[in-house]
């Protein structure tokens, strides 16, 4: 039987805050395939996440004979900052950030090197996105809101490759998450988030060349369909997006986080060692459609 085998691999999933989103599903799929998994979470969410895990509130079914989902380490990460000197004083003094050590991308790299050693990390998944003005139309988005969306959702991936790529085992896999708004108009997906996703997909292509030549790492991105995660609900119209896709996509069954998780596990494995610089769609084929399906259409 041909199966995904990640035994002996160490994976990092950046951006897990609960058990509802793609990040959690990817971490679960990597674990089921045999990988050891590290996760990061936003500093203000760290205590809630760790307490929920300790109390068994996030226990999940791993399948017959599988061990309980657990993580090697949980690190705080605010991917808006590359190093501590970039962090404003009001953030450093915020009680939700205090006593966490270095929560920047550079700090994450240093922690991984210290805790696991050089050349031990094989897989990095970027499940980070934030747009403070996502409910604003692009034309009504402030410069600060636009730049914040791109910093948190696109440049953070560039920074992860820059900082963590050199300490990874050669031939590693980087993976990001995007959305169809990178290439088509999704009314309501505002605040510069569509621009950030477009930048992310472009950066994946460039980074696949640069990281490939420097480190032999692969760099890909999954363009996932809409999912009603807690984070996505901040958009305010996620249910409409889901209904529209289910009515108009070639495959009408419900997209699940597990669909994305399993694809991520495949792309992170040696089975996909010939794939880099690619946008992989996991959206039931919605990206292929050029117009809505007429109400009276019958196959």
Strand partners, 126: 14, 176
Per-position DSSP letters for 3-69, written without gaps between them: ----TT-EEEEE---SSSSHHHHHHHHHHHTT-EEEEEE-GGGHHHHHHHHHTTTT-----TTPPPP
Crossing angle of helices 105-116/156-164, nearest 10°? 30
Within 10 angstroms of residue 136's Cβ, the number of other Cβ atoms is 16
Q: Which residue has the tokens 């807690």?
A: 230
Q: How many CB atoms lie within 10 A of CB 67?
A: 8
Catalytic residue among 179, 244, 281, 297: 179
Selected catalytic residue, list 81, 155, 189, 281: 189
Provide the angle, in degrees to the nearest 10, between the axes of the packed helices 193-215 and 156-164. 20
| C-alpha span between 60 and 91 (Å, rounded) | 34
How many angstroms separate the CA atoms of 297 and 208, rounded? 41
Q: CB burial class (10 A; 0-12, 13-18, 19+) of residue 296? A: exposed
Query: What is d(CA 196, CA 133) in angstroms, rounded to the nearest whole number?
Result: 13
DSSP symbol at 160: H
* Strand (E) or helix (H) holding 158: helix 156-164
Does the annotation mark 97 as catalytic?
no
- Rounded to whole angstroms, the Cα distance separating 202 from 199 reads 5
* Annotated catalytic residue 179: yes
Q: Which residues are catalytic?
A: 179, 189
């Amino acid at each position: 039987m041909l199966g995904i085998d990640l035994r002996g691999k160490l994976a990092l999933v950046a951006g897990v805050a609960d058990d509802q989103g793609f990040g959690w599903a990817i971490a679960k799929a990597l674990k089921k395939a045999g990988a050891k998994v590290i996760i990061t979470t936003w500093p203000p969410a760290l205590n809630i996440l760790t307490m929920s895990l300790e109390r068994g509130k996030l226990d999940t079914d791993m399948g017959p004979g599988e061990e309980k989902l657990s993580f090697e380490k949980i690190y705080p990460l605010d991917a808006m900052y590359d190093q501590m000197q970039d962090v404003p004083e009001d953030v450093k003094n915020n009680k939700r950030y205090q006593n966490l050590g270095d929560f920047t991308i550079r700090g994450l790299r240093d922690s991984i090197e210290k805790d696991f050693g050089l050349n031990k990390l094989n897989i990095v998944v970027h499940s980070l996105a934030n747009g403070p003005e996502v409910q604003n139309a692009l034309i009504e988005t402030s410069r600060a809101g636009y730049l914040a969306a791109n910093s948190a959702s696109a440049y953070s991936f560039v920074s992860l490759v820059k900082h963590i790529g050199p300490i990874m085992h050669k031939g590693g896999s980087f993976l990001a998450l995007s959305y169809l708004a990178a290439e088509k108009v999704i009314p309501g997906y505002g605040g510069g988030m569509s621009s950030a996703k477009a930048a992310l997909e472009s950066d994946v292509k460039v980074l696949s060349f640069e990281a490939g030549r420097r480190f032999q790492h692969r760099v890909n991105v999954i363009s996932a369909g809409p999912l009603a995660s807690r984070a996505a609900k901040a958009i305010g119209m996620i249910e409409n997006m889901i209904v529209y896709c289910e009515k108009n996509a070639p495959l009408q069954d419900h997209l699940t986080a597990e669909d994305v998780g399993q694809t991520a596990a495949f792309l992170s494995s040696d089975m996909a060692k010939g794939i880099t610089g690619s946008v992989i769609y996991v959206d039931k084929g919605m990206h292929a459609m050029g117009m809505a399906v007429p109400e009276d259409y019958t196959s």
